[in-house]
Amino acid sequence: MKTLILACLLGVVLTSSACTPPTQQSAITPAFDENRLFKTWYFDWTATAIFSDSQKKSYRAEGYSLPPARGRTGLKFEPKGKYTYIGIAPADGELPFAGSWKWITPTTVRVQREAKSFQGASWEAEEASLEILTVNDSTLVVRWLP
């Protein structure tokens, strides 16, 4: 009887270890040079008028000459899933939100950002997907998805 129980337990252990999914997911290969994404991008307010899709946004790389504006939003992607959303602070300055990102398709990343309170204002944590339509050394065009 003890031998039968031991054999059953051994069978369960061997079967469960064989059926356990791997802990690491296979990496998704992006459809473009991923290093081009690792910059800080600021929203170009003037470019939105050319898009009929209200979810489509254009960003320009840090250092690109933009017309004066009272605050700009921005994005920063870094290796190993580090993401920063640059919001507009109550006094029109930059307000960074820490977050993370990961590939979900070769052209789409999922971003998450932290909740934050600053000078009496509060923002909830947010999560969204960005379909990357264009990325080069000076321009990033994305479609924000729910």
pLDDT at 146: 79
Tell me the residue type at 142.
V
Q: pLDDT digits over 9-67, tens only?
A: 334 334 444 443 333 344 888 999 899 999 899 886 544 445 666 788 889 888 888 87
Task: Give the pTM.
Answer: 0.72
Q: What are the b/e assignments for 63-86, b being 16+ CB within 10 Å?
A: eeeeeeeebbbbbbbeeeeebbbb
Burial category of 43 from C-beta neighbours within 10 Å (exposed 0-12, middle 13-18, buried 19 and up): buried
The answer to whether 131 and 145 are in contact (CB under 8 A) is yes
DSSP code of 15? H
Neighbours of 95 (CB within 10 A): 19
Q: Give the chain's domains with CATH numbers.
A: 31-116+123-145 (2.40.128)
Identify the pLDDT of residue 13. 39
